[in-house]
Amino acid sequence: MWSCLERLARDGGLLAGAGGATPWRGVLERAEELRPELAGLVGGHGGSVGLRPGAPAETLAALATLRELGAAVALLPPGSPAEGLVEVELRPGAHPGAVAPILHGPPAVRPQGGTVTVFSSATTGPSRPHAWRWESLLARVRVPGPVRGGAWLSAYPLYTFAGLQALLHALEGAGSLVLLSPADSLDAAIRWSTRFRLAMATPTFWRRALLTGLPEPREGLTVERLSMGGEPATQDLLDRLGLAFPSARITHVYASSEQGSLFSVSDRQAGFPAGWIGRRLASGAALEIRDGELWVSSDPGKPFRPTGDLVALHGGRVSFEGRRNDVVNVGGRKVNLLRVETVLRSLPEIADVRTYPTASVVTGQLVAADLVLQTGRDPEAFRTALPGLLRNLLAPEERPRRIRFLDAIPVSPAGKVVRA
């Protein structure tokens, strides 16, 4: 990381966020300022620290310094306890401080030397930590020539595997980097650049960008390569992104915090080719389907592990059918929430949707739905019409029995729809 920062500082460019921008040279200088005090902090607390990502320049300066010092770092999600760890307190332009470790109770995370701990995105439960050795992460960084240089954009939070991998790839290959939070809009990015060599975010981020309106074409926004992961890339989203960015290469990356990046698909079709099942891919991963669930071996010699993702074969394609815990029991019948959501999303009156289970004293669970209607639609009139629209599209147990109308679907700090 340090050598990449030195190269970027020589070449120019900047690191930007919604709140401002810092030249790469300024990030390197800040890292050098932080080094003496972070060295003392690390040495005084057994080499293990927690770092809660904040302003991009300050966070990267601290992370690069801690990596150079050989510290074990846990990248902490918002609101998570730093129990059992000393947490570095980042104060832009000031000396780094520390929040005293909480010594009672077992540590929530026990990072080991030479590792960085990231957290799952907590869409269906609490965030889970997973430690990676820096050498393993850096060995996965591959930036092909056509992607190098220019401005990159990432809207993945740094405490996730996707966010850290996006950062490491950008340090290796980008000219400038714009780091947004999942709650930011693309308008925050075009303050710094209108042409992006690569833009990375969750499908929910891109769906929200389409819903709220992309920057006008006259503003010159160009995306050469668009990447997304962490959630299924549905066909309607791929089609709409293709219309918005007709010349972009659109890629869906399949990865996990525990096994890393496993494969990617760039043919603008949902799912992946059925021919990939049962063989080792160029990435090293191998795929199997067991009882309707995708199982993955990340590398030769590694055991197959369940992913929790339900899949189905449709001709020559494997489609994602939602998470295993997205299947709920309604009066003894299994209902797949993603299927319900897909049907609702196909209705022209609906701009966005979230489905989730709600308790029922009669059936145990019912399907509930939050809807964002297209501009100008009357919510109560649509509520009255909805049962008739769904009569021939969904089975009785699949039809949402509780409906809420919202201005926007809430998302997690990781930029994903929360269904728990």
Are the C-beta atoms of residues 166 and 200 closer than 8 Å to each other? yes
- Do you know the residue count of the chain? 420
pLDDT attached to residue 219: 56
Are the C-beta atoms of residues 38 and 62 closer than 8 Å to each other? yes
pTM (2 d.p.): 0.88
Query: Which residues, in sequence order, are bridge partners of residue 367?
Result: 357
Q: CA nearest 83: which of 41, 114, 48?
A: 48
Structure tokens at 103: 């010594």
Residues sharing a CB contact under 8 Å with residue 219, sequence separation 6 or more, in sequence order:
190, 194
Query: What is the spatial distance between Cα 109 and Cα 126, in angstroms, rounded to a whole number?
Result: 14
Query: What is the spatial distance between Cα 47 and Cα 77, in angstroms, rounded to a whole number?
Result: 20
Are the C-beta atoms of residues 367 and 357 closer than 8 Å to each other? yes
Class of 1-270 per CATH?
A: alpha beta
Are the C-beta atoms of residues 238 and 270 closer than 8 Å to each other? yes
- Mean pLDDT, the chain, rounded, equals 87
Domains of the chain: which residue ranges? 1-270, 273-323, 331-405
Are the C-beta atoms of residues 368 and 380 closer than 8 Å to each other? no
Query: What is the spatial distance between Cα 418 and Cα 359, in angstroms, rounded to a whole number?
Result: 17
Residues sharing a CB contact under 8 Å with residue 43, sequence separation 6 or more, in sequence order:
none
Measured on CA atoms in the order 66, 41, 86, 17, is the torsion positive or negative?
Answer: negative
Q: CA nearest 108: which of 122, 126, 88?
A: 126
Q: Are strands 305-314 and 195-201 parallel, antiparallel or unpaired?
A: unpaired
Structure tokens at 153: 């954009």
Structure tokens at 375: 């501009």
Query: What is the spatial distance between Cα 365 and Cα 356, in angstroms, rounded to a whole number?
Result: 10
165 — phi, psi (to 5°)?
-65, -40
Q: What is the pLDDT of residues 116-146, one digit of tens each?
A: 989 887 555 567 888 899 998 888 888 988 8
What is the SS3 assignment for 216?
coil
Pick the CATH number of 331-405 from 3.30.300.30, 3.30.70.1150, 3.90.1150.10, 3.30.1360.20: 3.30.300.30
pLDDT attached to residue 91: 65
Spell out the per-residue pLDDT of the chain, length 420, in tens: 899 999 999 999 999 998 899 999 999 999 998 888 888 877 766 677 888 888 899 999 999 999 998 888 989 888 776 666 777 777 665 555 443 333 333 344 444 567 898 988 755 556 788 889 999 888 888 898 889 999 999 999 999 999 999 999 999 999 999 999 988 888 889 889 989 999 999 999 999 888 877 765 545 788 999 999 989 899 999 999 999 999 999 999 999 888 889 999 999 999 999 999 999 999 999 999 999 999 999 999 999 999 999 999 998 999 999 888 889 999 999 999 999 999 999 999 999 999 999 998 888 899 999 999 999 999 999 999 999 999 999 999 999 999 999 999 988 888 888 765
Q: Which amino acid is at 391?
A: R
Structure tokens at 247: 């010349």
pLDDT attached to residue 102: 31
